[in-house]
Amino acid sequence: MTAVRLLRPIRMIGLLACWGFASVCNAGVNYEEPPINYSKTPPSNAISRLQARIDDGTVALKFEGSQGYLRSVLDLLNIPVSSQVMTFAKTSLQAHHISPTTPRALYFNDDVHLGFVQDGLIEIAVSDPLLGMAFYTLEQSATEKPRFVHNANNCLTCHGAARTRNIPGLQVRSVYPDPKGQPVIAAGSLRTDHTSPFEKRWGGWYVTGRHGTQQHLGNFTLPDTKKPKSIDNSAGQNVTDLASRFDTSKYLSGHSDLIALLVLEHQTDAHNFMTLANFETRHAMFVESQQLQEPNAVATEIQQQTQRRIEKAGEALVRYFLFSGEAPLKGPLEGTSGFAKEFAAQGRRDRQGRSLRDFDLKNRIFKYPCSYLIDSQAFDALPVPMKQYVYQRLNAILTGDEQSAEFEHLSFDDRQAILSILRATKPEFSMLGFD
């Protein structure tokens, strides 16, 4: 088999805190301009494909009472009900429908994230190979051919700014909600992912599961709208039943599963880093093609600049995929909905039966800390130079050639297991020659 030559040998690049605050710009990428053209580019994703099937009569959505199209959409998109998590914080487009007694339910698989609110719209964020995240709404009214409305701009105030790394993306926030679910701004908020301390997570969320003596901010509201001097959330810990807090019969499930929340937190920023890697590579290559046409262009310098941009975005993705900086767990965790079992069962496995979707849930989230989203459509849609860079870096780290501090959390056994899983389950990775 002919080896594929990758990018030239890598220098370790320190990631700079360069996230700006412009609504559509990130490190020189304006996603409303070429080559991204976010608002002008037709979407091509799981929702646009489902809409085409609805339009041609191949499938029909079923409307069921107060939950409307919810169950039917989940079934057609292969989103498990066990993924349900619930937030009662008024941080959504539909804040007027959300409260501690009428929480917003979120459901997800690897590529689609869906929000349901009582008496409101269904909201969807879906991974798109050209757009990063595409955003849709679905009216909850019975009609012969319901329509998912693509919102190219309306959602980007929150989903295309600093908190999503200035690309069309996602975020999970932890806030301090008042009795009505309104975040108390003076008390602060935190954008959370797998690096966030356990005790700072899930403010404004319902959380069902067991986690021992570890504390979180879920299942809790402040007594008023003032910044608290101290917090006693002992009643919000190790909750396994939410029926006393709101009418759970109005939802598909009574759970807001702890393990599903952990996975969702990891997944949201993983998608953001993949979108950033996608956009940076495409933009860098676009700029290179223009610069090479200029008089007196120095090809070597221009190509090196392109490579540096690919390396910078790629390095951020590699570090996140390998759970660099993951906050350690301090004891075993257990969910309530069966999500963990369903999620792990979907994993591609090596000859020893190991999968990137296997959980640890004692010391860290996953047994083999490399993101399962390397098998996602979003990763497969990355431009070839970016995928090659990521594969090259993964190989260097997992074979032990790379021993930097960012990856010291990976033991020898971890690296060997992840390498085996990737070689067995990711054909592109196993076919590349590394030199």
Question: pLDDT value at position 18?
Answer: 26
Report field, pTM of the whole predicted structure over 0.85: yes
Cβ proximity of 86 and 219 under 8 Å: no
The whole-number pLDDT of residue 84 equals 98
Tokens of residue 252, six digits: 């598909």
Confirm if 270 and 221 have CB atoms less than 8 A apart: no
Determine contact, residues 119/96, Cβ cutoff 8 Å: no
Give the torsion through C-alpha atoms of 93, 99, 104, 105, to 10 deg: 170
Q: Residue 233 CB: number of other CB atoms within 10 A?
A: 15
332 membership: H or E segment, kind and range: none
Band (pLDDT 50/70/90 cuts) for residue 15 is very low
Mean pLDDT, residues 258-268: 98
- 314: Cα separation from own chain's centroid: 17
Is the pLDDT confidence value at 433 over 70? no
Beta strands in 36-154 (DSSP E): 85-87, 104-108, 112-116, 122-128, 132-138, 148-150
Q: What are the tens digits of pLDDT across the range 329-370?
A: 999 999 999 999 999 999 999 999 999 999 999 999 999 999
| Strand pairing class (29-30; 25-26) | antiparallel
Q: How many distinct helices (H) and strands (E) make up the chain? A: 10, 11
Taking Cα atoms as reference points, which of 259, 221, 214 lies closest to residue 237? 214
Alpha carbons within 13 angstroms on the beta-carbon side of residue 224 total: 4
Per-residue pLDDT, averaged over 399-406, amounts to 90
Q: What is d(CA 386, CA 175) in angstroms, rounded to the nearest whole number?
A: 35
Do residues 151 and 136 touch, judged by C-beta distance below 8 A? yes
CA distance 365 to 429: 24
> Closest by alpha carbon to 180, among 118, 106, 91?
91
Q: Side-chain half-sphere of 327: how many Cα atoms within 13 Å?
A: 16
pLDDT above 80: residue 287: yes
Rounded CA-CA distance 11/258 in Å is 39
Residue type, 340: A
Q: What is the mean pLDDT of the chain?
A: 90
Question: Which segments within 289-339 are labelled E, that is strand?
Answer: none
Domain range list for the chain: 28-259, 280-431
Q: Check whether 406 has a pLDDT greater than 90.
A: yes
